[in-house]
């Protein structure tokens, strides 16, 4: 092999390498992004499942047909049995009488709605009259929304 052939081979391989490198970099970036989205989706899905289960299992209130909510805001709920949900510094916490357990980190927002018997009116001022909970969780830009009906309403009818 002569020097000219070797230089030609190096030039050809350099051109091929320059063409393949952006494709490889793009594929690597796409893989890293898909991993990040999958992790956010898993965290958000787990948090949503646990939150809806908690809201569905809301305790009965003192009066017949009421939900036992001690306090409610657009970003937290506390039930009379000591359980609840609260967002603390980017971490969604499940509150139990034994303490707080993190459900998901990287939470940008938690939105709770308390809907009355007509299915439209917000009853956040009188949360014990809640017929339906609306919940939204944003984890690292991935937003999930859900609805839960407290079972106490189904049993109390």
Predicted confidence band of residue 61 (pLDDT cuts 50, 70, 90): confident
End-to-end, the C-alpha distance of the chain in Å comes to: 92
The neighbour count for residue 79, using CB atoms within 10 Å, is 23
Contact 139, 44 (CB under 8 A): yes
Q: What does the alpha-carbon distance between residue 34 and residue 127 come to, in Å, rounded to a whole number?
A: 40
* 3-state SS assignment for residue 57: coil
Q: What's the whole-number average pLDDT of the chain?
A: 90
pLDDT score, position 16: 87
Q: What is the pLDDT of residues 101-130, one digit of tens each?
A: 999 999 999 999 999 989 899 998 889 999
């Amino acid at each position: 092999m002569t020097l000219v052939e070797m230089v030609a081979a190096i030039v050809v391989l350099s051109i091929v390498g320059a063409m393949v490198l952006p494709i490889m970099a793009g594929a690597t970036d796409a893989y890293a992004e898909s991993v990040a989205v999958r992790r956010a989706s898993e965290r958000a899905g787990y948090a949503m499942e646990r939150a809806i289960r908690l809201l569905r299992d809301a305790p009965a209130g003192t009066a017949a047909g009421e939900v036992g909510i001690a306090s409610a805001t657009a970003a937290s709920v506390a039930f009379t049995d000591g359980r609840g949900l609260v967002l603390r510094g980017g971490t969604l916490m499940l509150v139990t009488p034994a303490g707080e357990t993190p459900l998901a980190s990287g939470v940008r927002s938690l939105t709770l709605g308390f809907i009355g018997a007509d299915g439209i009116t917000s009853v956040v001022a009188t949360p014990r009259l809640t017929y339906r909970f609306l919940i939204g969780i944003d984890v690292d830009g991935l937003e999930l929304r859900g609805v839960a009906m407290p079972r106490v309403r189904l049993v109390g009818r």
